[in-house]
Amino acid sequence: MTGTITRRDFVGGSGVLGMLSPRTAFELAAAESGPGHAQGGEIMIDRGFLRLREGLVHYRYAGQRHSAGRLPLYLAHAGPGSSLGMVGLMTEFAAARLTVAPDMLGNGDSARPAREDTDMEYYADCAVRILDLLQLDRVDFYGSHTGAQIGCELAVRWPDRIGKLVLDGLPLFPEDLKQQLLARYAPAVEPDDYGGHLVWAWNFVRDQFLYWPHYAHDAQNRLANGLLPPKDLHLGVVDVLKALDTYRIAYQAAFAQDVRSLLPRIRSPVLLTATERDPLHIYLDEVARLLPGAGKILFGRQAGAADRVAAIREFLDA
């Protein structure tokens, strides 16, 4: 029998729900917390583990399973990272629907993938198996970067499992850049006697916000972004270090994916989003041309989280 261990993930919260089936964990959490999974006006996010054949998958969830006819929202994070990066969106949407955000295999607190030479179809298959364990027949989907690429695979290969699709920062890398990224973007890194891997992880996460690609330290590739706040940078570094020997597997699969061939085959309603702070926003118009009828929003540098949430909510609730 598949089991989960869950715990609260909000300021001031505590408690372990114990070894429960996924559905029991959902229903008990909702019964304890009431509408929107809120306590004292604070949206609570629970955490649990599911057992796939590869091992344990860590996930976060909040909200009620049956929410006024709205489909659950499955959120797929970008790499490198974990479902921690989805917490902001989860707290915005959990008041009206169930939200679920796993750590993709090889990232965060999830097990490593079954093999290293995998592809994005494999990650989509993992998502389907997670939905099966949670007894979620159909979901709306939000994915960022690598997560958006998983969403494309899902919408094409398992269209009956996807309602609406929000694809944020979806890349369409030209072939020469793909080959460069495969060779240089996500190197194999091992701990050493001098802690060099710790310094590497700090610079790796920091430089992703300063250069595109992160290893191209010249004026031409400098992004118009400032440094991340140290606490945020620390959280990103911790996620990378947790997955030091596996973080690159999803990257390699993402860089090798043929996104262009998938887009014309998507039949789900789609909203395409990107922000000018994200270097991948340059692909937004090309993606939209391959997805006639999709909504498209480019958020300016001054746009805040509230602007993104409002646009996504309008699309999902329409």
Contact 180, 214 (CB under 8 A): no
What is the predicted pLDDT for the residue at 42? 81
Which of 283, 48, 7, 266 lies closest to 141 in space, CA to CA?
266
What is the predicted pLDDT for the residue at 65? 79
Contact 295, 315 (CB under 8 A): yes
C-alpha triplet 234, 44, 28: angle, nearest 5°: 130
**What's the rounded Cα separation, in Å, for the pair 318 and 313?**
8
**What's the rounded Cα separation, in Å, for the pair 167 and 186?**
23
Provide the token pair at 118.
Answer: 């995998």
Amino acid at 67: S
* pLDDT, tens digit, 9 for 90 and up, residues 234-288: 999 999 999 999 999 999 999 999 999 999 999 999 999 999 999 999 999 999 9
Q: Is the pLDDT of residue 16 over 70?
A: no
Average pLDDT, the chain: 90
| 177 Cβ neighbours under 8 A, 6+ residues apart | none
**What's the rounded Cα separation, in Å, for the pair 160 and 188?**
37
Contact 69, 51 (CB under 8 A): no
Which of 84, 108, 43, 78 lies closest to 232 in space, CA to CA?
84
pLDDT band with cut points at 50, 70 and 90 for residue 213: very high
Whole-number Cα distances in Å, 208 to 43, 68, 166, 195: 30, 40, 23, 21
Amino acid at 237: V
Amino acid at 2: T
* pLDDT, tens digit, 9 for 90 and up, residues 53-95: 999 999 999 998 777 789 999 999 999 999 999 999 999 999 9
Domains and CATH numbers, the chain: 7-174+257-317 (3.40.50.1820), 189-244 (no CATH)
pLDDT band with cut points at 50, 70 and 90 for residue 314: very high
Contact 254, 149 (CB under 8 A): yes
**What's the rounded Cα separation, in Å, for the pair 285 and 243?**
33
**What's the rounded Cα separation, in Å, for the pair 222 and 242?**
28
